[in-house]
Amino acid sequence: MMLRRRQFLNLAAGAAALPAISRVARADGYPSRPVRIIVGFPPGAATDVVARVMADALSRKLGQQFFVENRPGGASNVGAETMIKAAPDGYTLLAMTVTNAVNATLYANLSFDLMRDIAPVAGTIRSANVLEVNPALPIATVPEFIAYAKANPGKLNYASFGVGTAPSMAAELFKMMTGVDIVHVPYKSAYMPDLLSNQVQLAFTPIPLTIGFIRDGKMRAVAVTSTTRSAALLGVPPIAQFVPGYEASIWHGLAAPKSTPDDIVYRLNATVNAALADADVKARLVNLGAEPMPFGVADYRKFVAEQIDKWGKVVKFAGMKPA
């Protein structure tokens, strides 16, 4: 009888260990085939460029091809939906951005709920916009800008790539926190010609897009939207120095479909973070005007949830509607 009981306990212990062994085996065998990273923007967009840097790094570190598949449309909603509908096996990922967090509130009739339907995997990079003005505008600092805008309500126009884009959100957050009245002029194509000719007076522009004009004196950099100075514009202070709590970084990361096995999510997270610490990868990202943004899985999920909440408040404040 004792032998039978011992055999039963051994069998029970072995059965209990099987799921853990299965998880380890699954993680050790992943990836066994190519992995696609869905990008919700066209080739050449910032999200696409960063995703290709990370795809190359992950391919080298995991010994299997990671490749980018562009699915533009609906301000990246098409790409997000494509990933969410994919099998939750770790072989389809989304190159997600701050735009996805904005869209969670901006679009009332999405077929998915971002936090319900994704497994946040890892952060990759963050970068700043720069608040820049045409040199004809008689301001050089954030306090001067706020004072001038309040003295001239509705007379300053800011350009962006459209409603809900990171530059427009940076501007609307600034409006919400300072009470200035500046007018949004959305563009479907490049707005720099109009900014240079003073048809519009200012913009919150990605640093790589405008740094040449700033260095040439054709545009005046007032402040950056990150909480610290940008390595590309060390002489330009952050807006937060004058508007406490202000922060409007552009960020990128990776997500997988909900129910993707935890061991695969954690393996990807560890590999992404290792890639971000790699000197070559880091140099490539810094050259793009970005800085690595490593997170643990739980902290990244918390970060995404906080971003959805933060930008949802700005969308409601501004009364934004999709274009």
Q: What is the domain-level CATH number for residue 222?
A: 3.40.190.10
Q: Are residues 169 and 226 in the same domain?
A: yes
Mean pLDDT, the chain, rounded, equals: 92
For residue 31, whether the previous peptide bond is cis, meaning omega lies within 30 degrees of 0, is yes
Torsion from C-alpha of 227, 317, 206, 184, nearest 10 degrees: -140
Q: Are residues 261 and 228 in the same domain?
A: no
CA distance 210 to 130: 9
Instruction: Please count the CA atoms within 13 angstroms of the CA of 196 that sit on its side-chain side.
Output: 12
CA angle 39, 109, 183 (to 5 degrees): 80
Residue indicated by tokens 């701050």: 98
What residues make up the domain containing 65?
A: 31-127+250-318
Q: What is the pLDDT of residues 51-63, one digit of tens each?
A: 999 999 999 999 9
Q: What is the pLDDT of residues 234-284, one digit of tens each?
A: 999 999 999 999 999 999 999 999 999 999 999 999 999 999 999 999 999
Q: Are residues 98 and 166 in the same domain?
A: no
* Overall average pLDDT of the 215-227 stretch: 96
Helix H or strand E segment including 139: none
Domain count, the chain: 2
Residue 6 resides in a domain? no
Higher pLDDT pick, 28 / 158: 158
Q: Are residues 292 and 272 in the same domain?
A: yes
Residue 8 resides in a domain? no
pTM to 2 decimals? 0.88
CA distance 44 to 72: 12
* Residues 251 and 293 sit within 8 Å (Cβ to Cβ): yes
Q: Are residues 254 and 111 in the same domain?
A: yes
Residue 57 resides in a domain? yes
The 10 Å Cβ neighbour count of residue 277 is 11
